[in-house]
A and B are shown apart, each in its own frame.
Chain A
Amino acid sequence: MASSSRVEILNEGGLRVDGRRPYELRSVSMTFSPQAHADGSATMQQGLTTVTVSVFGPREPRSRANAIHDRANLVVEVGVAGWSQPGVGQRNRGDKRLTEVGATIRQTFEPVIMSHLYPRSEISIYVQVLGSDGGILPTAINATTLALIDAGVAMTDYITSLSVGLHLTQPLLDLSSPEESDIPYLVVASLPGTGKVTLATLETRIHVDRFEEMLAVGVEGCKILKAEMEGEVKKRTGTMVERMKLNALPDRAGGMKDSDRDILMT
């Protein structure tokens, strides 16, 4: 592909189309529990790409057939709002691409969720893309992590995900949709604790020698994103714990003996 594509991916000053530097992430904003009656939900916005995820479960499986005897059964459904992609009316039901994204998210979270704690039950994850400006899969994975944490589902670590593009020899982080349609890119999701990669998908051609560097940059970016997400999670958890401490009711710490209870009941 001729490098001088109609839109300059990287100008001389080293800035990208939206003015970011190669390794600069788009601005991130997170909201917790936007859906009241879901067990846990979260909306993640990276740049203009917005994905909201609701988690129901672990709960009684809808049909006895898919109850697994020693662990929880993970169900992921992905829907795209009609207005998210300009000009493309979406019918979410049989769309193969969405089934594939759903399967990818399910496989990515299966090793991280401690499903053996919830045998014979089902955890349903509903992903809804509200705005899409590139990086739908990474944003969906980040939103799913937050929604699972909000639902109190036990997980061994966060999973954070980013897209990594390649312009000539310069890797670019967190691509927006004009960049995504012009340059080859890879989506990577990793466990920040160990820095190991749980997801890596690529659909456009990249030379093997460039691949390692992009992978390393992606994992590094995921760590930064995790720090962001963890800050928000802890801030919110802090306020909730503060509220929980209200009107002098002690926490039900595991070891509270029965005798304590009687004293309280004035």
Chain B
Amino acid sequence: MPRDIPVPTINRSFVQAALEKGHRLDGRRPLERRRLLIQFPDPEETSVSGLGRVEVSLGKTKVLARVSAELTNPRSDRPFEGLLSITSEIGPLAGEAFHGEGRTTEEEVILTRLLEKAIRRSEAVDREALCVVAGEKVWHIKLHIHFLSSDGNLIDAGCLAGMTALRHFRRPEVERLDRDDGMAAIWKVYPTDERAPVPLSIHHTPLCVTFAYLEGNLLLLDPTSQESQIASGTLTLTLNAQRELCVLSKAGGNPLGVEELMKVVTLGVDVVREMTSEMESALKADEAVRIVDVR
């Protein structure tokens, strides 16, 4: 389509009118989240290789996250720390707005920056624990987030998928064997059937909660793509179970009073508590079924 099609004005006023009566087009209440589905690869076939892969869907929004690890040398200015890099793939698959060609759209930049702040800058993964030998060898953990289909609110699904994958992932054991002939030491990476792989050390689990608001300060949790088109602004909170606010991003949209903003934050705390428990139960369920320990 040459130019993006405007949202029909009658739909805009219909959604607004419905919201004033507390109803949304998909039957949800304004502050009700869509159904969350967390799926790990089939434990039988992929027992160990399936670690660190998860598919999260929030209504029609579907995200796949995958973690991989690699031994590299540390950064010169930070010899004691391992590396964590996040790459997010948002292609046209995820929605027409993210058309592949041409430079990344502004929306994409905001999304990747938010994921970066929520997962990496919040020090969720303990990077010092990734260090094998200071200054020589450290683990480089790579988190890939692929957005498979988008019906709004990619941030929450993306962040949840990323954190679940990191919690689910296990890296192999490694040991340094000094060669007697003075050549460089070789790094023995034990295959997973010899030594059980080790989970990453995760300080806390920050999860994102996104609200959209429309004229008249109507607040919506987990907006669909049509609702975000109609909304005048969105607000994203990243919180962890310890009630700590890791990232807050409210730019533009309806100005909110301090108390209104606090109401949204406390609301966010409950939503994150719910999502965390759903994540934990999914992880436990998978752990029970997946044989990882070799003995």
A residues in contact (CB < 8 Å) with B: 65, 94, 96-97, 99-100, 103-104, 106-111, 186, 190-191, 194-209, 211-212, 215-216, 219
Contact = CB atoms under 8 A, between A and B. Distances in A.
B121 A203 contact: yes
Nearest to A95: B109
B248 to A, nearest CB: 4
B113 A111 contact: no
A205 B122 contact: yes
Interface string B225-256: 00000001100000100011111111111111
Nearest to B251: A107
B133 to A, nearest CB: 25
A115 to B, nearest CB: 12
A97 B109 CA distance: 9
Contacts of B122: 205
Given A103-B106, A212-B262, A96 B113 contact: yes
Nearest to A203: B117
A111 B265 CA distance: 22
For the complex of A and B, 3 pairs with smallest distance between CB atoms: A107-B252, A196-B255, A107-B251
Contacts of A205: 122, 244-246
Interface residues of B, number: 34
B258 A216 contact: yes
A28 to B, nearest CB: 23
A208 B253 CA distance: 22
B3 A111 contact: no
Contacts of B249: 201-202
Contacts of B248: 186, 200-202
B244 A108 contact: no
Given A200-B248, A205-B246, A100 B261 contact: no
A195 B257 contact: yes
Given A201-B249, A204-B121, 10 more contacts: A99-B109, A100-B110, A107-B233, A190-B255, A196-B255, A196-B257, A208-B239, A208-B266, A211-B245, A215-B261
A65 B117 CA distance: 33
Nearest to A212: B262
B145 to A, nearest CB: 16
Contacts of A108: 251-252
Given A212-B258, A215-B261, A216-B258, A198 B243 contact: no
Contacts of B245: 202, 205-208, 211
A108 B110 CA distance: 14
Contacts of A194: 255, 257
A197 B255 CA distance: 5
Interface in B259-293: 261-262, 265-266, 269
Contacts of B232: 111
Given A202-B247, A203-B117, A111 B253 contact: yes
